Amino acid sequence: MMQTFTSSLPESLIDRLNERAKALKLPKNKVMERALQAYLNHLDRQEYKATFLRMQQDPAFVADLEMGLDDYLQSLENEAG
């Protein structure tokens, strides 16, 4: 379901939006939707990355990860015969 959202933006940003929408032959709201989705995805990836950077400092997490990898590699060897 779509919702209406009203906001004020700097004129220079609106000009860029207008130019991009025209070049892409898309409605401005579609360009904004795609841009916002890309930005939010970027923030999610940054958060995910930061979580793993923190976790790599946790010796228990690293040990569990290594043990899981060893088990996985062993299962691949067993399948290969």
Query: Residue 64's pLDDT is what?
Result: 87
Q: Is the pLDDT of residue 61 over 90?
A: no
pTM of the model: 0.65
Q: Return the number of other C-beta atoms located less than 10 Å from residue 65's C-beta.
A: 13
- What are the helix (H) ranges across 1-81? 11-24, 28-55, 59-80
pLDDT for 31 equals: 98
pLDDT given at position 11:
97
pLDDT at 71: 87
For residue 4 the two structure tokens come to: 């209406």
Across 62-75, average pLDDT = 88
